[in-house]
Structure 1
Amino acid sequence: MSGTKFHFSGVSVNGSNISVASTGPVRQTLNAQSRPTRSQLMAALSEAGLPQAQQDSLTDALDRDGADRSAPGPAVRSWLGETRQQLTASLVTTVWALVTGYFGLPAAS
């Protein structure tokens, strides 16, 4: 990119979202990952080593919270808190990332 000049007239950073405003032509690339289905989530949790009883408990929590996937509801948040205390640290990190990814959220806890 030798000789290319960049000028940003505005940059906004919010979590993992970055907005850039320019006074000239802009090319944009978006790499978006689709959210997993519930069956994909459960398969990934099983593969990660989450015990079946905890998978069943999560399924129950998802059912109680309903179809809204904008954020974990109270039952799923409670499940995450309880599960955090019962699992090894490495499995907690994996489970947290998979469940928050199901809701389209970043994996940070």
Structure 2
Amino acid sequence: MVCLRSQKKIAIATELKDKNWVVVRIADNGSGIPPDVQEKIFETFFTTKARGVGTGMGLSISHQIVVEKHGGQLICKSEVGSGTEFIISLPIQKQHLPENAQL
């Protein structure tokens, strides 16, 4: 199958990893994210828009929910011109941490 650049696609896949983790992959065939932007996408209030326009991409909140609240991982893999993939890994059973544990 030939994939033309004009055919925008989003692929979502799930898998069970090591019987203890669920992995959700969300990928597109868009323009990709430059490395300098990738370094900042999980920062609070980060946006690629002009100053004063918008409040951020919402990825810092997503990262906080996945990592801090559920003990998972949120990874972004992207290459300019080839698209982007977000990989969300969540433990099937959250490990209980002491109340004073630092995440």
| TM-score normalised according to structure 2 size | 0.26
More helix by percentage:
1
More strand by percentage:
2
| TM-score normalised according to structure 1 size | 0.25
> Computing the radius of gyration over CA atoms, which structure comes out larger, 1 or 2?
1
- Higher RCO (C-alpha 8 Å, min separation 6): 2
